[in-house]
């Protein structure tokens, strides 16, 4: 299936720079999936072609690629390595959303953006905890900042699902301020901070090479200059990040692996000739109907995803957040479609699809990961339903 073209030169050039390296990235993907090891060489390659710095504004030395362009690019990357695209998407989301929102202090934004462009630094939002789960659930983090003199703090706690942990330079950490204010905060913790420790806990069924380990903070020193944002819990919600950048880049990874499964299955159907059969299975009406259903679903998910990303790029400020229901719909539809498509492909191909020598087996495992990323299905449906139903009329009087 031909890729959706990016909308401007930055996106087109990014994909063109990627294409010569796709065979090597595919080779790396198989090895790191088997070993559950982190793909350092893959990230080195992405750094060299400007992938890591693509969302950074031109004023800081980046390409300022649009969200729509990065959705297209990440889909292409996910077709050869969904885990790599998923993990890289966490970094792209972190810097891309700040480009849109500009909520960090100017000096800290400059420092982090320059480190991405000049040193290939990776960033990720570090928020989820074993007890609290995702911040979208509304809990108060146990990871805490306590005062340690004028302008100084100490952070203690544990985070889970910290994607990119082995390679992160900046741990953008969500925590509670324990100074009597009741406030929440995000702070930029550098990888070399004494007391920061990674515990290699990531041993899962799919997305095995994302390095999403636990991170411990043990009396890590933080200064006021390292605060990204401070938030009132009653007003924070998810506005500390950019809902669209996260959801749509996760969706791109889902869609990419669905397209990879589709392409494998189409090639299989075009060439598979069972012993004694008069033709290939692609000539059978039942198989043709299944391929048609697969393409129908991918076309539908593509249209919603890319239209939503382009709409987000075309707006600014608070007007973007009016797209929340469409962003939630794109994320849910992409994830569900990808799972459905990979399942259909495996049924069409048959028993060989279960074999680890074939890529469908890895696609089947990987594609389930984004179902657990926000918004998960109940919360995403609530966003969509709220736009349709609220405010409800008062019928009590």
Contact 270, 280 (CB under 8 A): yes
Of the candidates 25, 14, 53, 212, the residue with the CA atom closest to the CA atom of residue 125: 212
Contact 123, 168 (CB under 8 A): yes
Mean pLDDT is lowest, of 28-37, 228-237, 244-253, 317-326, for 228-237
Give the span between the Cα atoms of 216 and 197, in whole angstroms.
5
Q: How confident is the model at residue 241 (pLDDT cuts 50, 70, 90)?
A: very low
The confidence score (pLDDT) of residue 371 equals 96
Per-residue pLDDT tens for 19-54?
Answer: 999 999 999 999 999 999 999 999 999 999 999 999
**pLDDT tier at 10 (50, 70, 90 boundaries)?**
confident
Q: Residue 134 has what pLDDT?
A: 77
At residue 395, the pLDDT reads: 80
**Mean pLDDT, rounded, of the chain:** 93
CA–CA gap between residue 99 and residue 66 (Å, rounded): 10
pLDDT at residue 16 greater than cutoff 50: yes
- Beta carbons of 337 and 258 less than 8 angstroms apart: yes
Q: How confident is the model at residue 239 (pLDDT cuts 50, 70, 90)?
A: very low
**28 phi-psi bin (left φ>0, alpha ψ -120 to 50, beta other):** alpha
- If you search the block for the tokens 């074939």, which residue do you land on? 358
- Do 126 and 174 contact (CB within 8 A), yes or no? yes
Element (H, E) at 278: none
The proportion of the chain whose per-residue pLDDT surpasses 70, expressed as a percent, equals: 97
For residue 157, the cross-strand partners are 217
Mean pLDDT, to the nearest integer, of 278-296? 95
> Do 243-389 and 125-236 fall under one CATH topology?
no
| CATH T-level fold of 125-236 | Butyryl-CoA Dehydrogenase, subunit A; domain 2 (2.40.110)
When pLDDT is averaged across residues 149-172 and rounded to a whole number, the result is 97
Residue 105 has a CB neighbour count (10 Å cut-off) of 15
Whether pLDDT at 147 is above 70? yes
Determine the pLDDT at residue 397: 57
Q: Is the domain defined by 9-120 classed in CATH 1.10.287.1080?
A: no
How does pLDDT run across 165-196, given as a tens digit for each residue? 999 999 999 999 999 999 999 999 999 999 99
pLDDT over 80 at 138, yes or no? no
Instruction: Judge whether residue 236 has pLDDT over 70.
Output: no
In 3D space, the residue among 165, 257, 249 whose CA is nearest the CA of residue 213 turns out to be 165
Q: Which CATH superfamily is domain 243-389 in?
A: Butyryl-CoA Dehydrogenase, subunit A, domain 3 (1.20.140.10)
pLDDT band of residue 311 (cuts 50, 70, 90) is very high
What's the pLDDT at 240?
39
Judge whether residue 59 has pLDDT over 50.
yes
How is residue 53 written in tokens? 């710095």
Q: Is the pLDDT of residue 155 over 70?
A: yes
Show me where the domains of the chain are located.
9-120, 125-236, 243-389
The count of C-alpha atoms lying within 13 angstroms of the C-alpha of 246, restricted to the half-sphere facing its C-beta, is: 19
| pLDDT tens readout for residues 312-362 | 999 987 788 889 999 999 999 999 999 999 999 999 999 999 999 999 999
Higher-pLDDT residue of 12 and 160 is 160
Per-residue pLDDT, 3: 74
* Confidence at residue 5, expressed as pLDDT on a 0 to 100 scale: 72
pTM score: 0.94
């Amino acid at each position: 299936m031909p890729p959706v073209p990016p909308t401007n030169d930055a996106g087109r050039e990014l994909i063109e720079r990627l294409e010569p390296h796709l065979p090597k990235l595919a080779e790396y993907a198989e090895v790191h999936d088997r070993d559950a090891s982190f793909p350092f060489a893959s990230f080195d390659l992405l750094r060299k072609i400007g992938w890591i710095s693509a969302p950074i504004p031109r004023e800081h030395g980046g390409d300022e690629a649009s969200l729509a362009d990065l959705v297209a690019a990440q889909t292409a990357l996910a077709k050869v390595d969904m885990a790599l695209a998923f993990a890289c998407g966490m970094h792209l989301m972190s810097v891309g959303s700040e480009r849109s929102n500009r909520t960090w202090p100017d000096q800290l934004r400059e420092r982090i953006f320059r480190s991405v462009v000049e040193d290939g630094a990776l960033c990720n939002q570090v928020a989820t905890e074993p007890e609290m789960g995702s911040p979208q659930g509304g809990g108060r983090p146990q990871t805490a900042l306590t005062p340690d003199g004028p302008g100084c703090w100490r952070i203690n706690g544990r985070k889970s699902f910290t994607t990119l942990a082995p390679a992160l330079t900046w741990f953008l950490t969500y925590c509670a301020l324990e100074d009597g204010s009741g406030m929440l905060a995000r702070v930029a913790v550098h990888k070399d901070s004494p007391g920061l420790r990674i515990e290699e806990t990531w041993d899962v069924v799919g997305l095995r090479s994302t390095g999403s380990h636990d991170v411990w903070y043990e009396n890590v020193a933080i200064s006021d200059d390292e605060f990204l944002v401070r938030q009132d819990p009653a007003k924070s919600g998810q506005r500390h990040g950019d809902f669209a950048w996260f959801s749509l880049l996760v969706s791109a990874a889902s869609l990419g692996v669905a397209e990879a499964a589709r392409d494998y299955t189409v090639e299989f159907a075009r060439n598979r000739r069972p012993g004694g059969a008069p033709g290939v299975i692609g000539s059978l009406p039942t198989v043709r109907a299944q391929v048609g259903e697969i393409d129908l679903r991918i076309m539908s998910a593509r249209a919603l995803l890319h239209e939503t990303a382009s709409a987000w790029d075309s707006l600014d400020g608070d007007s973007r957040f009016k797209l929340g229901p469409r962003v939630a719909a794109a994320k849910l539809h992409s994830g569900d479609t990808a799972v459905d498509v990979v399942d259909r492909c495996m049924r069409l191909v048959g028993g060989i699809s279960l074999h680890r020598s074939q890529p469908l087996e890895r696609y089947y495992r990987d594609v389930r990961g984004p179902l657990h990323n926000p918004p998960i299905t109940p919360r995403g449906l609530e966003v969509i339903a709220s736009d349709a139903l609220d405010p409800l009329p008062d019928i009590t009087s």
